[in-house]
A = this chain, B = another copy of it.
Amino acid sequence: MLRLHAIAAAVTVLAASAAAAPAPAPSLAEILAASPASDWRTVDPTRTLYVELPAGRVIIELAPGFAPKHAANIEKLAQAGYFDGGAIVREQDNYVAQWSQPDEKRSLGGAEKTLKAEFTRGLDGAPPFTPLPDPDTYAPQTGFSDGFPAARDPATRRAWLVHCYGMVGAGRDNDADSGGGTELYAVIGQAPRQLDRNVTLVGRVLSGIDLLSSLPRGHGDLGFYETPAERTTIRSIKLASDLPPGQQLHIEALRTDSATFAAVVRNRRFRHDAWYKVPAGRIDVCNATLPVRIVGKPAS
């Protein structure tokens, strides 16, 4: 079975009866259906996290191209079972879901508690960048690197991941170097772009973000739950490659440097269908669709 997830949900018809209307231009689904296999990449199971919640699985792809030390550290934490029995401790509306291990005695295994910040990286040796043609409010240039929404500043020759819906970062205290991956958050609202270059983004949710975004909101300061009973338990966070081969999903992501992705972006910038009257002709980096498909049994 093949499932197609349009993660940055971009289906836009607002009335039920319009769903069956004819489309005068290739639809997103048609573009993807016509894509060659070579325009897709297999998501590396050694950089994929399965977050098991009572309601199902959240799948996260880490971004070692931007946060190599954090990605490696989080992999070690997962292998040590650090997050198992942990909890989603914070759910702030239009902002983030955040999780950690409330048991302070839990072993980090071989992982570090804190790391030097990886807020930005140099352009030299950076993953290939596919720019978007439209102006961005926050950065000189935005686009996609390795399947992640990213920004660049040619003047400073720095690149960084940007805080779009579903992006995952490493919470920190006031010290820039006080994060490390023991506390992680996912964006569940309007892109909080003011966080860009202020906190280390470590990856993005490929599947199951709705399990994080639909949780009851916390009513303590900053959306923290006021009592442990309100928290959602994390059964485990495992590295996909540590599971028996039969339990590893085959996940494919559309290459963001492919012709198909360029067609997807065109489709999203100019919506030519029976519903739209005024195509925007523009797109924000956080409104682009980053298609992912899971080949095989879907996560339960």
Contact = CB atoms under 8 A, between A and B. Distances in A.
A271 B95 contact: no
A24 to B, nearest CB: 11
Contacts of A137: 134-137, 282-284
B8 A193 contact: no
A18 B280 contact: no
A11 B214 contact: no
A86 B51 CA distance: 36
A185 B280 contact: no
Q: Which 7 A-B pairs have the closest CB atoms?
A: A14-B171, A93-B210, A210-B217, A194-B280, A165-B190, A174-B274, A197-B278
Nearest to A90: B16
A280 B210 CA distance: 28
- As for how many copies of this chain the complex holds, the number is 2
Interface in A179-195: 179, 183, 185, 189-195
A206 interface: no
Contacts of A274: 174
B192 A287 contact: yes
Contacts of A284: 137-138, 191, 193
B216 A21 contact: no
A227 interface: no
Tell me whether chain A's interface is mostly helix, strand or loop, or mixed: loop
B194 A12 contact: yes
Interface residues of A, number: 75
Contact of A191 (B95, B179, B190, B221): B190
Interface string A198-221: 110000000001100111110001
A263 interface: no
B14 A169 contact: yes
Interface in A112-131: 119
Interface of A: 8-9, 11-19, 21, 90-96, 98, 119, 134-138, 164-166, 169, 171-174, 176, 178-179, 183, 185, 189-199, 209-210, 213-217, 221-224, 268, 271, 274-280, 282-284, 286-287
Contacts of A216: 214
A95 B16 CA distance: 15
Given A14-B185, A15-B183, A17-B173, A271 B194 contact: yes
A172 B12 CA distance: 11
A193 B14 contact: no
A221 to B, nearest CB: 6
A19 B92 CA distance: 14
Nearest to A270: B194
